[in-house]
Amino acid sequence: MNRQEIKSLAKSKIKGNIWNIIWPLLVIGVVESIITGLFGGSIKIDFNNLENVSIPTSYYYCTVIISILFAIVNAAYIKYIINFVRTGKFETSDILNTLKAKWLNILIATILVSIIVGLCSILFVIPGIIMGIAYTFVTYLVVDTDVSGSDSLKVGREMMKGYKWDYFVFVLSFIGWFLLVPFTFGILLIWLVPYFNVSEAIYYNKLKELKKID
């Protein structure tokens, strides 16, 4: 995979399209913050008596449920970006239609990947990272193909076979930009997030074609 070619193409695609790429993320982020704040606001912490802090069990359950719900919404956003990469057009209906048709498969895939990667990470950090990379495009496959939520893990592993290190280096190539974010008070993210998201979608597209996945 030619990283420079992918990143150059991504830059050309996001030019003049930053707002269309980032506004759904802003909406998702604001809603998530509000909902999380509502649940988190019920927890009172006495910093002078941290040993006796009590967090209701229901809070943990709510946090898990919220995380899963937003994972589903984020998956629909991925479809929005994939279609933009292929057609150059933005359709909000891509998000809504994906949520309607794919939510269950996204849910299944998200839970399975979380469990597998979580268990691997508990045992050893590096195997957890490797497994996480192996399942990088599981969500992409669920929203972009007819593969089921459970089968997407197998297809995702096969898709990344021989490309885990390549993808790892691809992600590392953005590290320099992310390190600059604090120095711009976060403003750089307005450009960097669309740049990375579109680059990853292009990477997925090229790898999907290379592996001949329908």
pLDDT tens for residues 76-135?
Answer: 999 999 999 999 999 989 889 999 999 999 999 999 999 998 888 887 778 888 999 999
Structure token digits, residue 161:
């076979």
pLDDT value of residue 132: 92
Q: What does the pLDDT read at residue 28?
A: 86
Contact 181, 192 (CB under 8 A): yes
Give the pLDDT score at 30: 86
The answer to whether 170 and 148 are in contact (CB under 8 A) is: no
Residues of the chain with pLDDT under 50: 45-47, 50
Domain range for 188:
3-210
Domain count for the chain, please give it. 1
- The pLDDT score that the predictor gives to residue 121 is 83
**pLDDT for res 51:** 54
CA of 15: how far to CAs of 19, 49, 151, 195, in Å? 10, 52, 36, 9
Burial code (b: 16+ CB inside 10 Å, e: under 16) for 28-64 equals beeebeeeeeebeeeeeeeeeeeeeeeeeeeeeebee
